[in-house]
Each structure stands twice: as structure tokens, then as C-alpha cells.
Amino acid sequence: EGLIWLDGEMVDWREAKVHVLTHTLHYGMGCFEGVRAYETDRGAAIFRLQEHTDRLYRSAHILGMEIPFSKEELNQAQKDAVAKNNLKQAYLRPMVFFGSEGMGLRADNLKVHVMVAAWEWPAYMGEEAKTKGIRIRTSSYTRHHVNITMCKAKANGNYMNSMLALREALDSGCEEALLLDNEGYVAEGSGENIFIVRDGVLYTPELTSCLDGITRNTIFKFAADLGYQVKEKRITRDEVYVADEAFFTGTAAEVLPIRELDGRKIGTGVRGPITEQLQTMYFDQVMGKREA
Ligand code: PLP
């Protein structure tokens, strides 16, 4: 139920359909965003809207897809998707995809379509996970990337490994997966960036093996405000095992403590103090209680 913004118009959810010959359905070339709106004192507020729109345009540009709308139009589309559906806490899914004008890999003369859907969305892994932390396992699937620059894009075809990794983790009784890169270094979760804390310093993998996360960038700012150093570097699995603290970041996961990796307790096995500090700042900011 509700309305979906499709190619410039608000259409009924049931009418927002694509053809079975939709090119992106066959070959996976396309990009999307995951955006969130929070209920604040001033009504529903979309967190980091401009950053998400900017990344969507960068993703499309990397894929050579030209979005036939301006950034302002897409910002407005996202605001409308929330407002016209009377949503308060919402997840938004803007997506850019090729139409069904032709098959094959040349993909010339294909129409670029854009849609924005939004739906009510409470906490991703439940309230308890936010305070207690989650248990994760190293995946047998590696972080898939076509090439290094794809880390700047949220591309459709990239999520097969993420889905397989998450399924594997859930089947083994964990809540999330940790994907390694092709060289065996820590990359990211199925849909989250990872940070570890060691002796008061934060470490996170470089952008060669993980998405250029907007929440990741937010943590960089918070850490600077609090006087913590953040180092981007290659991280091994062992370093996560012996870290004082570890947490995931993402629009969906927000700031989520990790209490265990591969059955090994991280730190004291509870949410660490720096994680808690950053988490509090994050919730204050998304709720509009703290200046962006
Ligand atoms: N890594 C992957 C693979 C993702 O899909 C996401 C998406 O949300 C993230 C990390 C976190 O990025 P952001 O903080 O922009 O949501």
C-alpha cells in the first residue's frame, strides 16, 4: 500500500511495476541507495539526504548511467515518498535501473529509470542488539568487487555475495557475516562497514575493499569531535579477535556493537565504552538533537 515515486510521478504501489525483460533484472547493472528517515521533534527527518543523493549520482556515473533527473528533483522525490505516505520512521530505497528496451550487454539505447520507495521501518536488529551487541562469523564468501572503484558505488550486482554470506551466518546461529577481501583482509559486513578499537584508537578498512559508507563518514566526524584518532588500514581477522571493541556502521545497522567473532569474545564481550559514546552521538544526531 501507498505511493511510489517512479520516473517523476507518484504512482500507486500496485502500479509501480517493471517488465520481465527489464535489463537490470537480467544483468544486474544498476545502483541504489538505502536512506532513513527518523521521527524527530520537527517531524520526519531524512538523515544525510544530500550525501545519499550524491552517492547515487556517483554510483550511476561509475556505471555510465545518466540519471534523467536533477539532484534537487531526487531530493524532493525522497521527501515526497516519506510525506505522501505519512511515514515517520522510514527506510527509503531510491534505485536507478535500465528499462526493457533491449537485451544484450551493449546496453546502448536503454532508458534509465529511477524510482523511490519508502516504508515504515523500526530498528534493524531489534533494540537488544544495540546494547548487547551481536555475534558474527567470518564468511566463506569474499567481498565481491568488480574493481576497486566499485567501492564508491552501491551497485545491484554486488549483493549476491552479501546475501550468501548473511544466509550462511544466520544458518550458523550468528546475526551477521564478516566478509574478507580477495586477499584475506577484513572488508565489511553484508551491508555494514566495520570499525575496531584498540588502545583508544579506531581502525577501519580502507575504501579498496568496502563501501564508502555514509555512516562510516559520520563516525569519522564524531571521532574527531571526541579527540579519537581513526586510522584507515588493512585489518586482519586476528586483529578483530584481539580488539578492545568492534562495531558495525550502516544506515540500516546504525552503530551496532559486535560482541563476538567466530566464537571468540571481543574485548569483554559487551558493548565497549567508545562504541557506546559514538552510538549515543549517532542517535542524538539522527533524532535532530545534535547539530550535523
Ligand atoms: N557496506 C555495504 C556493502 C552496504 O551495502 C552498506 C549500505 O548501507 C554499507 C556498507 C553502509 O553504508 P551506509 O553507512 O552509507 O549505509
Instruction: List the CATH number of the domain containing 68.
Output: 3.30.470.10
Beta strand extents in 143-263 (DSSP E only): 176-180, 186-189, 193-198, 201-204, 230-232, 245-250, 254-261
Same domain (yes/no): 248, 159: yes
Q: Would you state the pLDDT for residue 148? A: 47
**Containing domain of residue 139, as a range?**
127-286
Same domain (yes/no): 209, 183: yes
Beta carbon of 144 within 6 Å of any ligand 1 atom: no
Q: Would you state the pLDDT for residue 127? A: 78
Same domain (yes/no): 168, 268: yes
- Which value does ipTM take for this structure? 0.99
Q: Would you state the pLDDT for residue 144? A: 74
Most ligand 1 atoms within 8 A of CB, residue of 35, 141, 159, 192 to mutate? 192
The single-letter DSSP state of residue 100 is: S
More confident residue, 281 or 209: 281
pLDDT in tens, 206-243: 998 899 999 999 999 999 999 999 999 999 999 999 99
Residues 6 or more apart whose CB falls under 8 angstroms from that of 262 comprise 137, 138, 237, 241
pLDDT in tens, 66-84: 999 999 999 999 999 999 9
Distance CA 140, CA 169 (A): 10
Assess if residue 158 is contained within a domain.
yes
Q: Mean pLDDT across the stretch 253-279?
A: 97
Distance 193 CA to ligand 1 centre (A): 6
- The residue among 101, 120, 139 that closes a domain is 120
Distance 210 CA to ligand 1 centre (A): 8
> In the chain, how many domains are there?
2
Q: Which helix (H) or strand (E) holds 39?
A: strand 35-40
What CATH number is attached to the domain comprising 181? 3.20.10.10
pLDDT in tens, 159-209: 888 999 999 999 999 999 999 998 999 999 999 999 999 999 999 999 988
Same domain (yes/no): 132, 74: no
DSSP states along 246-273: EEEEETTTEEEEEEEETTEEPTTSS--H
Same domain (yes/no): 150, 273: yes
Assess if residue 292 is contained within a domain.
no
Atom of ligand 1 nearest to the CA of 214: 15
